[in-house]
């Protein structure tokens, strides 16, 4: 009788590696389920993260279609760490990025991002900053195999039922070096059903006067220029009357952002204020009705 071949088992090291990989994959999936992945038969909400990237701006948007967009990239690599929490480990593609203006606290994070992630579409005004970060971002955009669209007032981006309507600046700045870049900021209205959010970059009062006639009552205002006194004029608040204000500013930043006068102005309009310097990462969720906003810290 032939002898049965001895059962072969994997060496202990291989078993340990398989176990570790298995636990890693399982915990990644559970983490994703717990935080952002909705089962296929469930309705996907619009999710807007105001990421706590210190003194700067970085917003991550997940549309109900599943598409992903970044609005500004912050002043350093903090954005990459945040994406490590938001995206699955093997996800290296983001559908689009939008640069409101080329100041370092809005585009520096995009320099490393463009080295590590594949981006399909880049939206910007074309304004150029003659700073080291400004030059590097121009080079990275040129090297990325992405569609580059220069936006100005009147342009509209539709992603499923979400509409982004640009209200500022009046014209694009293709290849123009600009000194005062804050007022070149792309300002746009995001609407999804009854939810409306105004993104303002670092637009100051001069720009606000220019786009004021094209906006109305708003659910949410991304407060301009980190809450600086140069933005969020009383005239603008009178038109917007926002229920919620989002402020992105670094903890104990040297500029004193957000300014106490702007905070008291918002208080007078009974606007609920959410700040990255106090509350960290902020998540806005909408199914097309009343948006829900909450502090929702990411692990990184």
For binding to Zn ion (CB under 5 A), which residues are involved? 105, 202
Residue 173 and residue 152 in contact, taking contact as beta carbons nearer than 8 Å: no
Nearer to Zn ion, 40 or 254 (CB): 254
Nearer to Zn ion, 101 or 140 (CB): 101
How many Cα atoms within 13 Å fall on the side-chain side of residue 130? 5
To the nearest whole angstrom, how small is the minimum distance from the Cβ of residue 57 to Zn ion? 6
To the nearest whole angstrom, how small is the minimum distance from the Cβ of residue 105 to Zn ion? 4
To the nearest whole angstrom, how small is the minimum distance from the Cβ of residue 35 to Zn ion? 28
Nearer to Zn ion, 95 or 202 (CB): 202
Nearer to Zn ion, 52 or 195 (CB): 52
Nearer to Zn ion, 82 or 226 (CB): 226
Nearer to Zn ion, 95 or 101 (CB): 101
CA 178 – CA 185 distance, rounded (Å): 11
To the nearest whole angstrom, how small is the minimum distance from the Cβ of residue 187 to Zn ion? 13
To the nearest whole angstrom, how small is the minimum distance from the Cβ of residue 253 to Zn ion? 11
To the nearest whole angstrom, how small is the minimum distance from the Cβ of residue 231 to Zn ion? 10
């Amino acid at each position: 009788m032939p002898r049965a071949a001895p059962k072969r088992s994997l060496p202990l090291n291989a078993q340990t590696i398989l176990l570790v990989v298995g636990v890693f994959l399982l915990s990644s999936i559970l983490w994703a389920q717990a935080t952002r992945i909705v089962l296929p038969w469930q309705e996907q909400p619009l999710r807007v993260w105001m990421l706590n990237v210190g003194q700067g701006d970085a917003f991550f948007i997940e549309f109900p279609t599943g598409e992903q967009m970044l609005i500004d990239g912050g002043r350093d690599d903090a954005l990459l760490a945040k994406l490590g929490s938001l995206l699955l480990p093997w996800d290296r593609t983001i559908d689009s990025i939008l640069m409101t203006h080329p100041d370092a606290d809005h585009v520096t994070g995009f320099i490393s991002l463009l080295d590590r992630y594949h981006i399909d579409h880049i939206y910007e005004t074309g304004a150029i900053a003659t700073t080291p970060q400004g030059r590097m971002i121009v080079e990275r955009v040129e090297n990325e195999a992405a569609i580059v669209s220069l936006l100005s007032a009147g342009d509209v981006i539709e992603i499923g039922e979400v509409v982004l309507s640009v209200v500022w600046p009046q014209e694009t700045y293709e290849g123009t070096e600009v000194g005062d870049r804050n007022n070149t900021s792309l300002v746009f209205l995001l609407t999804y059903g009854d939810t409306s959010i105004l993104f303002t970059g670092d637009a100051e009062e001069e720009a606000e006067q220019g786009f004021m006639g094209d906006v109305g009552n708003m659910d949410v205002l991304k407060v301009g220029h980190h809450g600086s006194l140069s933005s969020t004029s009383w005239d603008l608040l009178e038109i917007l009357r926002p229920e919620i204000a989002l402020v992105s500013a670094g903890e104990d930043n040297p500029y004193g952002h957000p300014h106490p006068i702007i905070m008291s102005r918002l208080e007078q309009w009974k606007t609920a204020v959410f700040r990255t310097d106090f509350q960290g990462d902020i998540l806005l969720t909408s199914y097309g009705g009343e948006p829900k906003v909450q502090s929702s810290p990411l692990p990184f």
